[in-house]
Amino acid sequence: MPTKSYKKYISLFTFVAPAFILYAVFLLIPTISGMVYSFTDWNGLNRNYDFIGFGNFVEALTEDPDFVGSLLFTLKYVVFMVVLQNVFALLLAVFIESRRKTKGFFRTIFFMPNMISTIISAFMWTFVFAQVLPQLAEKTALTFLDQAWIGDPKVSFFSILTVSLWNGVGYMMIIYLAGLQGVPQSLKEAARIDGANAFQTFRNVTLPMITHAITICFFLTLNGAFKVFEVVYGLTGGGPGRSTQVITMNIYEEAFSNNFRYGYASAKSVILFIIILIFTFIQIQVMKRREVEA
């Protein structure tokens, strides 16, 4: 008997080893070592460093206005993105699902931007914001198009949202479409016969049937929005100044601008990780409860 279980582990080991080794080297160990270094004052060069407890964390959250600013900006972005991305995606999915002949066409068009790399999307929109819209405003009566779409942080927040939505809505739309296809036609018809209008049918029949898709999409949008980097990098670069800097860019700047505060930058990374974990955990808890009720 011991030889059999011994054999079982050898076989498990040989099958899992290739994946596990690469995973350990490039994901597991960096995750753990980042956490360890976040408690130190290591500068990334010296062999010696000291453990300084929560010092880095306290400093980041209380003495680093740039970091706190980027954190707040990211939170604002997350709130807008989670709501808008899901509302748009669900609306599109419901509308497209109701078409017969043009369903495939609209699905193709609305999903297409999602195929294009986020950074390339940001560059394309930079062209639209910086060149096309001002010219349109000049040539037509649409003067409201003449804005500092990228230069003014108040306006560029919405430019950033626009590009993020343009790039991301299609993905959620596909998940919602798949969810909608799982709603039996007979249920909707029964509701209609009982006198429900289109909105009532949607509210009381369709929506409860797709709660699982909603949970998934909220999870994905929440996670993705906290990690926003490319759109902002491509559009505003975090500027002007640091007015549109998001948390990932702040970490990037701290880590790769030769500040030599490796431990401090790691602490910021860990803060990001913990924030995402907390928000995700709350979201899953709340929505799972709803799923059960529904």
Identified binder of another protein from the candidate list 51, 54, 95, 260, rule CB under 8 A: 95
Q: What angle do CA 210, 216, 219 make, to 5 degrees?
A: 140
CB of residue 41 to another protein, shortest distance in Å: 15
Question: CB under 8 A: which stretch of 65-73, 76-84, 171-179, 285-293 binds another protein?
Answer: 171-179
Considering the rule CB under 8 A, would residue 270 count as an interface residue with another protein? yes
User: Considering only residues 51-90, where is the footprint of another protein by CB under 8 A?
Assistant: none
2 versus 18: smaller Cβ distance to another protein:
18
234 versus 238: smaller Cβ distance to another protein:
234
Peptide bond into 240 cis (omega under 30): yes
Considering the rule CB under 8 A, would residue 19 count as an interface residue with another protein? yes
> Element (H or E) spanning 287, and its range?
helix 262-293
Question: CB under 8 A: which stretch of 63-71, 76-84, 142-150, 226-234 binds another protein?
Answer: 226-234
Identified binder of another protein from the candidate list 58, 115, 142, 294, rule CB under 8 A: 115
- List 40's β-bridge partners, or say none: 51
CA–CA dist 123, 126 (Å, integer): 5
Three-state DSSP state, 1 = coil
* Cβ atoms of 274 and 285 closer than 8 Å: no
* Cβ atoms of 166 and 58 closer than 8 Å: no
Identified binder of another protein from the candidate list 75, 84, 216, 287, rule CB under 8 A: 216
Considering the rule CB under 8 A, would residue 49 count as an interface residue with another protein? no
Tell me which residue has tokens 């910021």: 268
